Structure 1
């Protein structure tokens, strides 16, 4: 008869296994669980003895799971995640009682335009928490898969890993910005008129790293297009267009009242060409988690507040 591996299995050890599998690193696992590395090493030895398998082998970059460990993780992951969610949902969710540190990655466009407002909304409901916001990068999806990020906020990604869930938040309508004393005095110009000027553009991982928004639009209309400057930092783009005659396509959610030296200029293109969907991304296991739902609602609230502010006659 085959050995009953579930019998006498310590669920605390199983939790260590899941974190080790995601982190592939003893030190990071110890940090996640707030214990020492020797304690993690001791737990791994118990797991190896229980399952009769090495489970993880050392490699230069950390730990590599054995085929048995991969199969174990894939087989019990859905059940374990449902159990974790059920246990955590027993307590009534109260943001004011939270003392967590939230890790959120945002597209640089959105980090610049709504990042501070989202932080203030989080603090209003959960004043004991800390927030760390990162620029969305090429490994952000991997960070979500490994459950290292609470939330990602960026422009819609067409193909997602099975572990990542998506929630549509809003539709972005990009605008072009120039300095107040830009030689073009019009508030609306054609593509051919815009092509007379150099452009500054943001570099956004997983979205426009290879080609900017404007490049695709100008190429489709057989017009030359000059990208004079690109940066990952929106603040640098704003500084550059404040001192030059360049045009910069930036988020329509940008609070222009914070930049009195700039003004928006409309470039006449077909309806919807400059519209892009914005979504949040989070681990699939957290889709029903009250914390994730709360964060998603705060993101929605932040966008709605910004939309209302932009409609104000004072802006």
Structure 2
């Protein structure tokens, strides 16, 4: 590749390459970009000279990318999006211009609660992006630090690195759930009533290494609770609760997710056990236009779901 010529490439040359790769047709590329076919041909020649590679081989079906073009395309769209966002004035950010993969990690019940609407809202405003929604896990903080995900939605984690910025979404609280018609379904009960039943939690959702909600419950009630089921999947935990007298301990989001399967049990702790629920992003990216746009969408959806 001729490095001197590379310095003469402009953004629109790279946009032409991306479009050519995607549609593999010069006339369709010209139409989509509002250019003439001769302008596309001139740009392709410049790209070929710059990268010292034919980039596309013409056959009866259209343009077939070379191996070099495949490798270039695998990195270029995300790199170009990042470059455009870097120099784009805040007021001119346009989600419709995005084409990268947006990666968000969510607490399992938040994924269940807002995942479908979050995906559809993102795609309605940024139709060219790909969306990846994952469960939060023990590696989420590292993924944030490494830039492998854009943001995470989870309970507060004590000792989180200072490079990660947290913005509170709402105050969650520890709730006690059971099936409909459970023996504890009516009236209020003292905390010791829980000792008569198996207790279940969904692993990774209550942040035992952070807020220590189990320890708080034991301290308030002066009772040591034994967890009989630790389940990695929220739906499976709810299925167990629906078919047995096992008690599920977890977020107030659970009832919003499964209103027909769960019933909140009134256990008279001396006070509610509150757990901040937040968006986490890298400090250096907190005012990034992309992240501000995503945070606005998430905040609006969550406000409707969690009253």
**TM-score interval (norm. to shorter):** 0.5 to 0.7
Alignment check: 8 A CA contact 2:109 2:257 kept: no
The residue number in structure 2 matching 1:281 is 280
| Cross-structure match for 1:19 | none
Q: 1:107-126: per-residue Cα shift (whole Å, max 9, x none)?
A: 22322333333323323332
Q: What is the 5 A alignment of 1:1-315?
A: 34-35=74-75, 86-89=86-89, 92-204=92-204, 207-208=207-208, 213-256=213-256, 258-271=258-271, 273-308=272-307
Secondary structure class of the residue paired with 1:241? helix
For residues 99 and 231 of structure 1, what CA distance do their matches in structure 2 show? 36
Distance, in Å, in 2 between the alignment partners of 1:278 and 1:257 is 16
Q: Cα–Cα, structure 1 residues 201 and 258, in superposed 2: closer, same or farther, change >3 Å?
A: closer
Check conservation: 1:85, 1:286, Cα contact below 8 A: no
1:241 deviates by: 0.4
Q: Which SS does the other structure have where 2:167 is aligned? A: strand
Task: Provide closer, same or farther for how the CA distance between residues 33 and 287 of structure 1 changes in structure 2, counting only shifts above 3 A.
Answer: farther
Q: Quote the offset at 1:149 in angstroms.
A: 0.5
Deviations, residues 132-188 of structure 1 (Å, cap 9, x unaligned): 111111211111111111111111123232432221221112322111121223153
Aligned residue in 2 for 1:55: none
> Structure 1 pair 114/268, CA: closer, same or farther in 2 (3 Å)?
farther
Alignment RMSD: 3.2
SS class of match (1:157): coil
Is the CA contact (8 Å cut-off) linking 2:180 and 2:262 kept in structure 1?
yes
Q: Mark the runs of 5 or more structure 1 residues left unpaired by the alignment.
A: 1-7, 12-29, 37-82, 309-315
Considering only CA atoms, is the larger Rg found in Structure 1 or Structure 2?
2
Partners of 1:181 and 1:268 lie apart in 2 by 19
What TM-score do the two structures reach when normalised by structure 2? 0.66
1:39-58 Cα distance to aligned partner (Å, 9 max, x none): xxxxxxxxxxxxxxxxxxxx
Question: Aligned in 2, Cα 1:131/1:276: closer, same or farther, shift over 3 Å?
Answer: same
Distance 1:211 1:198 in 2: 22
Aligned partners of 1:115 and 1:171: how far apart in 2?
Answer: 19
Residues 228-281 of structure 1, C-alpha deviation per residue, up to 9 Å, x if partnerless? 11112111110110111011122212354744232121222233x321111111
